Amino acid sequence: LAGTWIALAEWAQANGLAVPVKEPGATNLSFVMRGWQDRLVIRAGNHAVRWNGAECWLGYAPRFQAGQLQVHTLDLEKTIRPLLSGPPALDSKVVVIDPGHGGDNPGTRSAAGPYWEKTFTLDWALRVRDLLTAAGWQVVLTRTNDVNVSSSNRVALADQTQASLFVSLHFNSAPQNAAEAGLETYCLTPAGLPSSLTRGFGDDVRRQHRNNGFDDQNLAWAIRLHRALLQHTGLQDRGVRRARFMTVLQGQHRPAVLLEAGYLSHPAEARKIASPAFRQKLAEAVVHALEPGYLDVLGSR
Ligand SMILES: [Zn+2]
């Protein structure tokens, strides 16, 4: 699991991928790779790559050495390759939507009024359910009212279904920094890589969780959900990131993604989240990401 550094061009050639080219008009530290229908921009010294315009974090920032852009092999296998592999296959049109928090676990408080995260996540989930059901999906919600459900019960419920995907809905908070705003999307950190967020929890890179069996699909769904949410809402792009501590993701036996759709601690963003029209856009974005043909429909790059 240690990995090493190799030249991106060498890896691309060995894997039958188009050789990366310098990004037109940018510095020579910036390279573009193409795969399937995707455009991926990779920059030396930058932890984030851009997939069709949407940001995705690597474990290690690529480096420019001996005239070559070098990328860590675990990032190549666990991030770059899945991002260039096209849309993930669907085993079934069954999805679990998980409204974060509930009951005596209210989540974070809104800076825009006497509102809690748990109320907005449930409303968003109900909107997703209505839209996806109309599009022919079977939608299982982990809760349909204001009750707390443990992480293990949320995972157990998903296990009882034939769901091809688990999507957890949350809103963010940065109590120390009211200026922090934007969209973050999470999936489980692949073994060997450091997490982009640890929130004070341990981050043992050797740890293998059950959901690590779905690393590639986790990322494929995460980036598609993330990009659709950016396009539908105009939220600032804070990237697809990896975390190991999120118990609702660790034990999933299916691809699983957690969305943090804006900061309730940011006054203007909290006002947006309080608006039903905005939550409808969030719901439409989730549907857009799940429906086949989504790339063709969105198109812009
Ligand atoms: Zn939350």
Q: What is the pLDDT of residue 67?
A: 87
| C-alpha radius of gyration, the chain, whole number | 19
Distance between Cα 79 and ligand 1 center (Å): 25
β partners of residue 7: 70
Q: Which two tokens stand for residue 297?
A: 């429909």
Which residues of the chain are under the pLDDT cut of 70? 1, 27-28, 292-301
Q: In what order do the strands lie in the sheet with 68-72?
A: 5-7, 68-72, 63-65
Distance 197 CA to ligand 1 centre (A): 14
Cα of 99 vs centre of ligand 1, distance in Å, is: 9
pLDDT value at residue 213 = 98
Please tell me the distance between residue 211's alpha carbon and the centre of ligand 1 in angstroms. Answer: 20
Ligand 1 centre and the CA of 224: distance in Å? 21
Q: How far is the CA of 123 from the centre of ligand 1 (A)?
A: 14
The model carries a pTM of 0.95
Cα(51) to centroid of ligand 1, in Å? 26
Locate 191 and state its tokens.
């073994």
DSSP string, 102-154: BTTB--PBPTTSS-BHHHHHHHHHHHHHHHHHHTT-EEEES-SSS----HHHH
Residue 57's pLDDT is: 98
For residue 15, report the distance from its CA to the centre of ligand 1, in Å: 39
Q: What is the pLDDT of residue 295?
A: 44
pLDDT at 301 (0 to 100): 34
The closest of 264, 238, 297 to 87, measured between CA atoms, is 297
Q: Are strands 183-188 and 237-243 parallel, antiparallel or unpaired?
A: parallel
Query: What is the 119 CA–ligand 1 centroid distance (Å)?
Result: 11
CA 121 to centroid of ligand 1, rounded, Å: 8
Residue 111 Cα to ligand 1 midpoint, Å, equals: 15
Can you say whether residue 146 is alpha, beta or left, with left for phi > 0 and alpha for psi between -120 and 50 degrees? Answer: beta
Per-residue pLDDT reduced to its tens digit, 62-102: 999 988 999 999 999 999 999 999 889 888 999 999 999 99
User: How far is ligand 1, taken at its centre, from the CA of residue 50, in Å?
Assistant: 26
Alpha helices in the chain (DSSP H): 8-14, 73-75, 81-83, 117-134, 151-159, 215-233, 247-250, 267-273, 276-290, 294-298
CA distances from 26 to 41, 43, 44, 153, 196 (A): 11, 10, 12, 49, 26
